[in-house]
Chains A and B, each alone.
Chain A
């Protein structure tokens, strides 16, 4: 096939701007002193400092994983700035005290925070580098007993919930990056939905990395108490830098009896330029624990950004009859690398899981699905259905599927289907011959391919995801 299919890829990244703000930045590098400094800056209680130091000591003994199908120059962990916050008065009483530059930044990203302009149906927690800037609709939600705030605030205001749940789903020593995150995590969101409460609006966190030398270590914890439900959305962007920034996040979800969490991500971190220079290293551990019976956790992700993505949103199905779902679209272009998938761990009886994964690789990118379905010895009548489809655009991209299946109970039913297809010049020619331009053709083929996943996204998100994919692929074909 000719080079024309290759030539399509690069729509300029429209979120690549840098906001000029004065920042409170701590020295580069990582040590117990740095961790004490971070903890002090956040005015944390002792139990948090202990949590961090314990994680740090574990991290020192661990080594970076090499099994993912990605390549990168080694990260110098002593060259990262672990805390960077825009300078502002100690405690913000209202949005008026937020640096107007930062408010303008979020507005530019389509997320106005001020009372007059804020989105009408979504409560937003806006995180800028290491700190949460503002959370909208907090009071309205509080009337329902719902807690939605930054995790830093939750440590201060709700230490009993933090002590009980932080690290309960993802132990600090789970892996190299969770240990690192647990030691230095900066900010993220905290959600608690009380018993028998259906959250009246979607909750959303928007992560923005601004500083070129700092890492972002987001920590999110969502707890749905008995009989409650919530839909949570997450978005991410970052400026374009020549260097790479590390984003090592940990997200923990917990559902008690009959509770339900829908967690959607549209990840659009800067992916690096077409030669692979710059971009975010997105090393993320996301896991949900269906601890209660009849509970349900559903992950939906649209991964389009980052130079490297290493991410496996998982469900541990402990409660009987609990349900785990994973719907994913991962798009890689140019020099991007993604090794992503899920783990469904069936522990309780009659647990069910569904995995629908759509990988799209263009340019010289590498896109791997890696998934584990595990049925434990006590998981009577567990069922799983997995479908992993890959689509290649052009001749130089790469798609892989690594499914792992472990069944220890012979009443389990596990189904796996996989397919690989390709957008070729002949398909595009067929569209063209009917008057449809290559850009429109690619976007139609891709949205058709991703339909099963997009249908799971909240409506505004689905339209955005569709547009985002089309933009990402503009000029990559034709």
Chain B
């Protein structure tokens, strides 16, 4: 939902970043305000996932220029776990498996880390159990998943639902969904999208990274950005996504080549 008076959550200016010395982001600009849903689309290798990892502070990526401000603060000052507790959440394209660590414990430690960062008391095991079992409803997840090791032996759909469960628990200010639709059948896609929509608030924003228009039927974006070679080359409304679906990316890249 676009509200011109809403507060700016994320402000990215001329961002450059590289991995192993190869520049992937080549001057990216983006502004996200509270209450908005932004979609980032683009071909493989255009830098979409890199952008999400740079926002979250993955150690393999080096920021070589430009700036990222999150709620008015310079993000480069913060370690990855501090970015998380500050309110940045990344739903992973490939959620990691953590053998031996129960989902319930993982979620509780994560939740308490967020509370601690806000100066609140940690919740005990019992209060946490009540809380988390309530949250599992949002993604229609069976509570038995809480007692399994984190993502171990989960199907693709279960892993993605588990990501959204974490999002429901941690209530981020900025949620970045990195190809959350990949590997999901249509029912799982709907469940995940409904979960994300239920969690939307006027004070938070979602950044949805996807290849396909399909997900955007369920999570409706206010803005659609197209990335190419590490930059956003075009920004439009939802219609842009529909046009991309109908015509592919070629025409856009050609248009870009002509204007540049």
B166 contacts the other chain (CB 8 A): yes
**Which of A432, A440, A445 makes the CB contact (< 8 A) with B100?**
A445
Contact across chains for A434 and B166 when beta carbons are under 8 A apart: yes
Q: How many A-B residue pairs have CB under 8 A?
A: 76
Residues on B with C-beta less than 8 A from A429 are 56, 58-59, 80
Contact across chains for A449 and B110 when beta carbons are under 8 A apart: no
A372 contacts the other chain (CB 8 A): no
Contact across chains for B170 and A435 when beta carbons are under 8 A apart: yes
Q: Which of B88-96, B193-201, B250-258 contacts A (4 or more CB under 8 A)?
A: B88-96
Describe A's contact surface by its main secondary structure.
Answer: helix
- Chain B nearest CB from A454 CB (Å) reads 11
- Chain A nearest CB from B35 CB (Å) reads 23
Cα distance, A430 to B97, chains bound together (Å): 9
Give chain B interface residues in 46-95, CB to chain A under 8 Å. 56-60, 79-81, 84-85, 89-90, 92, 95
Q: Which of A139-147, A298-306, A380-388, A420-428 contacts B (4 or more CB under 8 A)?
A: A420-428
Residues on B with C-beta less than 8 A from A433 are 56, 80-81, 84, 89-90, 92
Once A430-B95, A430-B96, A430-B98 are accepted as A-B contacts, the answer to whether A435 and B59 lie under 8 Å apart by CB is no
Contact across chains for A448 and B98 when beta carbons are under 8 A apart: yes
B202 contacts the other chain (CB 8 A): no
Which chain B residue shows the least CB distance to A444? B101
Cα distance, A449 to B80, chains bound together (Å): 24
Contact across chains for A444 and B117 when beta carbons are under 8 A apart: no
Cα distance, A4 to B62, chains bound together (Å): 14
B105 contacts the other chain (CB 8 A): yes
Number of interface residues of A (CB under 8 A): 23
Which chain B residue shows the least CB distance to A451? B100
Once A421-B99, A444-B105, A451-B100 are accepted as A-B contacts, the answer to whether A436 and B60 lie under 8 Å apart by CB is no
Contact across chains for B80 and A432 when beta carbons are under 8 A apart: yes
Contact across chains for A435 and B117 when beta carbons are under 8 A apart: yes
- Chain B nearest CB from A130 CB (Å) reads 41
**Which of B89, B90, B95, B106 makes the CB contact (< 8 A) with A444?**
B106
Contact across chains for A425 and B101 when beta carbons are under 8 A apart: no
Residues on A with C-beta less than 8 A from B117 are 435
Once A2-B60, A425-B60, A444-B106 are accepted as A-B contacts, the answer to whether A437 and B81 lie under 8 Å apart by CB is yes
Cα distance, A180 to B85, chains bound together (Å): 57
- Chain B nearest CB from A435 CB (Å) reads 4
Contact across chains for A436 and B96 when beta carbons are under 8 A apart: no
**Which of B58, B92, B110 makes the CB contact (< 8 A) with A435?**
B110
Residues on A with C-beta less than 8 A from B95 are 430
B113 contacts the other chain (CB 8 A): yes
Encoded as 1 (CB less than 8 Å from any B CB) or 0, chain A from 397 to 437 comes to: 00000000000000000000000010001110111111111
Contact across chains for A427 and B100 when beta carbons are under 8 A apart: no
Which chain A residue shows the least CB distance to B86? A435
Residues on B with C-beta less than 8 A from A2 are 59-60
Contact across chains for A434 and B84 when beta carbons are under 8 A apart: yes
Residues on B with C-beta less than 8 A from A430 are 92, 95-96, 98
- Chain B nearest CB from A470 CB (Å) reads 13
In order of increasing CB-CB distance, the 7 nearest A-B pairs are: A448-B100, A432-B80, A435-B113, A434-B110, A435-B84, A432-B81, A430-B96
Q: Could you jot down 28 A-B contacts, CB within 8 Å?
A: A2-B60, A4-B59, A429-B56, A430-B92, A430-B95, A430-B96, A430-B98, A431-B98, A431-B106, A433-B56, A433-B84, A434-B166, A434-B170, A435-B81, A435-B114, A435-B117, A435-B170, A436-B81, A436-B113, A437-B113, A438-B81, A444-B98, A444-B105, A444-B106, A444-B109, A448-B98, A449-B99, A451-B100
8 further contact pairs, Cβ within 8 A, besides A432-B57, A434-B106, A437-B79:
A427-B98, A431-B81, A434-B110, A435-B85, A440-B109, A444-B105, A447-B100, A448-B98
